[in-house]
Chain A
Amino acid sequence: MSEQINRLAAGGRIDRTRPLDFSFNGRALQGYQGDTLASALLANDVHLVGRSFKYHRPRGIATAGPEEPSGLVQLGVGARTEPNIRATQVELHEGLSAASQNCWPSVDFDIGALNGLASPLLPSGFYYKTFMWPPAFWNRVYERVIRKAAGLGKAPIEPDPDRYEHRHAHCDVLVVGAGPAGLMAALAAGRSGARVILADQLPELGGCLLDEADEHPLAEWRSDALGELALADEVRLLPRTMAFAYYDHNYLALLERVTDHMSAGAPSHPRQRLWKVRAKQVVLATGAIERPLTFSGNDRPGVMLASAGRTYLNRFGVRPGRKVVLFTTNDSIYATALDLNAAGAEVVVVDARDGPGGALALRAATAGIRRIEGSAVVATKGNKRVRAVDVGRLSAAADRIDGATTSIDCDLVLMSGGWNPTIHLHSQSRGRPIYDPERAMFLPGAPAQNERSASACAGVLPLEDALRSGAEAGCGAAAAAGFEADMPDVPELDRDDEAPARVLWQVPSAKPDVESKRFVDFQNDVTAADIKLALREGYSSVEHVKRYTTTGMGTDQGKTSNVIALGIVSETTGQSIAELGVTTFRPPYTPVTFGALVGQNRGKLFDPVRKTPMHVWHEANGAVFEDVGQWKRPRFYPEPGEDMASAVDREVRATRTSIGMLDASTLGKIDLQGPDVAEFLNRIYTNAWSKLAIGRCRYGLMLGEDGMVFDDGVTARLGENHCLMSTTSGGAARVLAWLEEWLQTEWPDLKVFATSVTEQWATVSLSGPRTRGLVDELVEGVDLDPEAFPHMSVRDAQVGDVAARLFRISFTGEMGYEIQIPADYGLALWERCIELGERYDLTPFGTEAMHVLRAEKGYIITGQDTDGTATPADLGMDWIVSKKKGDFVGKRSLARADMQRDDRKQLVGLLSKDPEALLEEGAQIVADPNQTVPMTMIGHVTSSYRSPELGRTVALAMLKRGRELIGQTVYVPMIDRTLAVTVTETVFIDQEGARLHA
């Protein structure tokens, strides 16, 4: 068992009675309950965590929070492995297993480090200038190598075994961040009776209060506040919950890590929960993130943010080093210096400012802490761990080092370049950030939504002011939500005055820019030199600098680098940061698992499944289903030994020789009632409807206003003011919406009600020469004589004692009937037909056979033979466009010049010269098979099948000048060969249509 040599004997909020075993890179280590993976590694003096993205430089833990750019690990194994996890955000649990990323064979000895030697060849944007020659190498060499080298971690290759939930919540006040300001805001709002949600990313609430030494004056205040909030009925506390997105109209997304911190999970809980919160008012108390400093070698393991040093010390009881150099431009570092000194470390403070500093700096001096004024850490030494720094005097303009540098041995460097208020959520909500040059920070500007920022994220940094700021925000939010809120008592704290900070975007280096390795974006290996290179190459806007250098584009989204990059651009170009502006803030604030976003909407629950009343019969009888929209429709019913081709063959033959039966329940049915129904149909179909007699049906073609066919179907006249429209299965909802749009927005004067009745009626479709006999046995109350009941008619009928409708209608070209019955009786009707059908060799057939049957007759399927660019004339259906009727939807567009062109694509049939050759649907058609690529394409194959009756393949196609080309030969190039085909009429069998009218 290794020793936690950096763990202090006492102190911190970890539970020393509960040690935890974990492994890192296969090495067994120990930590305590309450540790993060980062704090446990540091306790064991493990500083080398991974290798950087491009140069494979050794990297360690740089922060203590979600802003971590370098300490990324591959967490877990197998189906639960996850790449790019910030060690600072992982709650340690028993048996945790983590590994370094982006290194081979190991993080200690990584072949990829050779990249570092090649670094002058690999500046920002190098890939825009390389890998182009020779062209053949791209596929064979470059792409393969790059794919392997790209990325940091490894994605899991097995399905995610965990369960994720979504939860919706509404509240009066959402408080993001439970530091001192957030707790105060929640208290103020909670006491007013408002419904409050308080969310914080950490397992314990308190924010920066958790980084204070135990005897802090606010410790008791914090516990009292938590106690009160826990008991308040209308306050919901959400620890371990990161608000990662701020969307429109105060809609925020929060990610709650429910069981990530547990070893085995708990089967009754989801792994994570996505909260979708609609809040009347939002209080952002998201704090501030410290800035690094840009000096040579600032990326070495052992170099971290000063506040992180304090967090590890006071929150986790870990002293990450014994000889500590602290480098700062502001006073906030001195609290850390004092705490480290008290914990027994040798501490040296390098302050970039001249002068004695503020109150804490004086206290540090009194404690005997060595302080070097007006100086900077210019470079670090060490390879896999910092072992010394060079310190030199900064010139007044900070553009060079005056005099020689001195070397100071150390094993930990803590840096503070200032603070960035965490304005990400404010900016996502479209509030503009405003730059304050005095304090060198971006502050939240006027809110665009019902939100307000408090405390550090609003630029209010001193703790004594944070509480008041939070209280005011909480009261203001509650009041804006309609509740009376009183200002709570704000504890008084001693105020430590501070000396002004110094702005230092770059620390000068003795080496030339290109070699100085002053990192700005640690994760994407972007240096100060890279930013200046982008500017020299002409990328002057910040959006371009970002994309060209990739600064701020990693999983940390530039939390520690964006503002520094802006500072460097500003210094180099002379434009102020305010003029430069910022790049757009986009959610998520930190990475979110796909699982959390998907929730339960996966697998069977991804999309609703619609089944007909006859579904159980289809399943029981071996149907192979296909998806038509959300419907499950039988595609074919294979008998033992059959494949699709042979099953379809049998089903088509049976339909043409005796009876085929299809479940047609999925086709859309729209009930239309009202005195103006006929007029309405006249306007939305191309043909005339006023004279359609009661009891007759008519086929209708529906055009968009652009004249293109978008749906078709048969509409029946059931009564004086009553019609039943049918649509394609997939188009039902679209057509109903179309009808409603016209009725509500353009013709509100028409008296028509449209109601979807697709699911209310089941439909059995019977086709074939022997159908009349079966229908006669099945149905009562209808005279089936062809004179009395011709093709395209409808009658009320009885099946047993159930009222139904009988249509004489066909989509197969055979004599056909449809029985429509209330849906609850659908299965019984189907089974009755099977029973009666035994004498008639009745054969159930599916959608595949249906496709063949209708194609043999040249009947179109909208959406397959049409694609939104075909007019009735293109389809050879000019006959359905009434020349006498008044205006209808699409009529004007049919008269457009483009519609009169003689080279439009027209529907034709195709017969391949080789009768067995099956054309591929979607294949292109060309006139000359020998032309050079790219060929001139003159059309495409829309439908293609084998016809049992003809004993050969047939196809339909849309072909330029198609009707003119009938009889001629064209060519269809396919993947492996080119087929010669003859252009024909679209009807392949029973051209006279005798069977329909039998």
Chain B
Amino acid sequence: MLLVTCPWCGEREETEFHCGGEAHIVRPPTPSALSDDEWADYLFMRKNPKGVHLERWRHDAGCGRWFNAARDTVSDRFLAIYKMGEACPDLPGQGGQSGEGEG
């Protein structure tokens, strides 16, 4: 049972949240310009790292807002929590992780 820190509500149990998978994926501005393969890549392909994963979470059973998190998939430690639309801050022991500003 992870302890997740919602940026608005504070520490809450994992069951109050929904994990929305990889963060910082921007919807292509012109989908019609993409090939089927490129479109499938946007729809389905996701990173699956052993280590730091930037992902999005929603506080479903609370404030209902989305936010971003950097989580180590091996230890399940949350290295950073930041708001939707922000870039990932510098992580302890990592140096900066660049995530795109939008999305």
Chain A residues within 8 Å of B, Cβ to Cβ? 247-251, 276, 278, 430, 448, 705-706, 737, 740-741, 744-746, 748, 887, 891-893, 895-897
Asked if A891 contacts B31 (CB within 8 A), the reply is yes
Least CB distance, A883 to chain B, in whole angstroms = 13
| Interfacial chain B residues near A892, Cβ < 8 Å | 31-32, 34, 39
Q: Which residues of B contact A741 (CB under 8 A)?
A: 20, 58, 66
Distance in angstroms between the alpha carbons of A276 and B103 in the assembled complex: 36
Given the contacts A248-B76, A249-B3, A746 and B27 also touching, CB distance less than 8 Å = yes
Q: Is the pair B66, A745 in contact by a Cβ cutoff of 8 Å?
A: yes
> B58 to A278, Cβ gap below 8 A?
no
Tell me the minimal C-beta distance from A92 to chain B in angstroms: 36
Can you list, as one digit per residue, whether each of B68-103 has a CB less than 8 Å from chain A (1) or not (0)? 000000011000000011000000000000000001
Partner of A706, one of B31, B43, B75, B76: B43
Is there contact, CB below 8 Å, between B32 and A251?
Answer: no
Contact status B39-A893, CB under 8 Å: yes
Enumerate chain A residues within 8 angstroms of B26, measured Cβ to Cβ: 746
Verify B84–A748 contact, CB threshold 8 A: yes
In the assembled complex, B64 has its CB within 8 A of some CB on chain A: yes
Q: Are B85 and A748 in contact (CB under 8 A)?
A: yes
B60 and A745: CB pair below 8 A? Answer: no
Tell me, in angstroms, the Cα distance from A744 to B68 when the chains sit together.
Answer: 12
Given A737-B60, A741-B20, A897-B36: A248 in contact with B85 (beta carbons within 8 A): no
A contact residues around B32 at 8 Å (CB): 887, 891-892, 895
Q: Which residues of A contact B14 (CB under 8 A)?
A: 248
Q: Does B56 contact A (CB under 8 A)?
A: yes
Tell me which of A247, A448, A895, A897 contacts B1 (CB under 8 A).
A247
Task: Confirm or deny: B18 has a beta carbon within 8 angstroms of a beta carbon on chain A.
Answer: yes
Top-5 shortest CB links A-B: A892-B31, A249-B3, A251-B1, A744-B66, A248-B2
Kindly supply a per-residue 1/0 record for chain B positions 9-32, scoring 1 wherever the CB is within 8 Å of any chain A CB and 0 otherwise: 000001000101000001100111
A929-B99 Cα distance, complex, nearest whole Å: 57
The answer to whether A737 touches B39, judged by C-beta atoms less than 8 angstroms apart, is no
How many angstroms between the C-alpha atoms of A423 and B70 in the bound complex?
A: 30
A contact residues around B84 at 8 Å (CB): 744-745, 748
Can you list 27 A-B contacts (CB < 8 A)?
A: A248-B2, A248-B14, A249-B1, A249-B3, A250-B3, A251-B1, A276-B1, A705-B43, A737-B58, A740-B64, A741-B58, A744-B65, A744-B66, A745-B20, A745-B84, A745-B103, A746-B26, A746-B27, A746-B103, A748-B85, A891-B31, A891-B32, A892-B31, A892-B32, A892-B34, A893-B43, A897-B36
Who on chain B is nearest to A886 by CB?
Answer: B32
Residues of B within 8 A of A (CB): 1-3, 14, 18, 20, 26-27, 30-32, 34, 36, 39, 43, 56, 58, 60, 64-66, 75-76, 84-85, 103
Asked whether, in the complex, the Cβ of A248 is within 8 Å of the Cβ of B1, the reply is yes
Question: How distant is A338 from chain B, measured CB to nearest CB, in Å?
Answer: 47
Residues of A within 8 A of B75 (CB): 430, 448
Closest chain A residue, CB of each to CB of B85: A748
Tell me the complex Cα distance, A619–B88, Å. Answer: 55
Chain A residues with CB under 8 A of B39: 892-893, 896
Complexed CA–CA distance, A448 and B75 (Å): 8
Whose C-beta in chain A lies nearest to the C-beta of B31? A892
CA distance A868 to B103 in the complex (A): 26
With contact pairs A892-B39, A895-B32 given, residues A745 and B56 touching in the complex (Cβ less than 8 Å): yes
Given the complex of chains A and B, what is the CA–CA distance between A896 and B43 in angstroms? 12
Residues of A close to B3: CB separation below 8 A: 248-251, 278
Q: Which residues of chain A come closer than 8 Å to B36, judged between CB atoms?
A: 896-897
**Chain A residues within 8 Å of B20, by CB:** 741, 745
Chain B contacts for A247, CB-based, 8 A: 1
CB distance from B4 to the nearest CB of A (A): 9
CA gap between A887 and B39 in the complex, in Å: 14
Distance in Å: Cβ of B57 to nearest Cβ of chain A = 11
| CB nearest neighbor in A for B40 | A896
Q: Determine whether the beta carbon of B64 is less than 8 Å from that of A249.
A: no
- Please indicate the chain A residues that have their CB under 8 angstroms from the CB of B103 in the complex: 745-746
**Inter-chain contacts of B2 with A (CB < 8 A):** 248-249
Q: Distance in Å from the Cβ of A814 to the closest Cβ of chain B? A: 39
Query: In whole angstroms, how far apart are the Cα atoms of A896 and B103 in the complex?
Result: 25
A contact residues around B85 at 8 Å (CB): 748
- Shortest B27–chain A CB gap in Å is 5
Instruction: Please report the C-alpha to C-alpha distance between residue A895 and residue B38 in the assembled complex, in whole angstroms.
Output: 13
User: Can you add 9 more A-B contacts, CB < 8 Å, to A887-B31, A896-B39?
Assistant: A248-B3, A737-B18, A737-B60, A740-B58, A741-B66, A745-B84, A746-B27, A746-B103, A891-B31
User: Nearest residue in A to B75 (C-beta to C-beta)?
Assistant: A448
Taking CB as reference atom, which chain A residue is nearest B60? Answer: A737
| A-side contacts of B64, CB under 8 Å | 740
B68's nearest neighbour on chain A, judged by CB, is A745
* Residue in A closest to B38 when the chains form the complex, CB atoms: A892
Residue of A nearest to B64 (CB): A740
B residues in contact with A897, CB < 8 Å = 36
Q: Which residue of B lies closest to A743 (CB)?
A: B66
Measured CB to CB, the closest approach of chain B to A450, in angstroms, equals 11
Q: Return A279 CB to nearest CB of chain B, in Å.
A: 11
Chain B residues, CB < 8 A from A744: 65-66, 84
Q: Give the residues in chain B near A250, CB-CB below 8 Å.
A: 3
What's the Cα separation between A893 and B28 when bound, in Å? 13
Q: How far is the CA of A887 from the CA of B31 in the complex (A)?
A: 8
Distance of A430 Cα from B39 Cα, bound (Å) = 39
A643 to B26, CA, bound (A): 55
Give the chain A neighbours of B1 by CB distance below 8 A: 247-249, 251, 276
Q: Are B60 and A249 in contact (CB under 8 A)?
A: no
**A746 contacts which chain B residues (CB < 8 A)?**
26-27, 103
Complex contacts, A893 vs chain B, CB 8 Å: 39, 43
Measured CB to CB, the nearest residue on chain A to B32 is A892
In the bound complex, CA of A249 to CA of B3 (Å)? 6
A904 to chain B minimum Cβ distance, whole angstroms, is 16
A895 to B39 alpha-carbon distance, docked (Å): 11
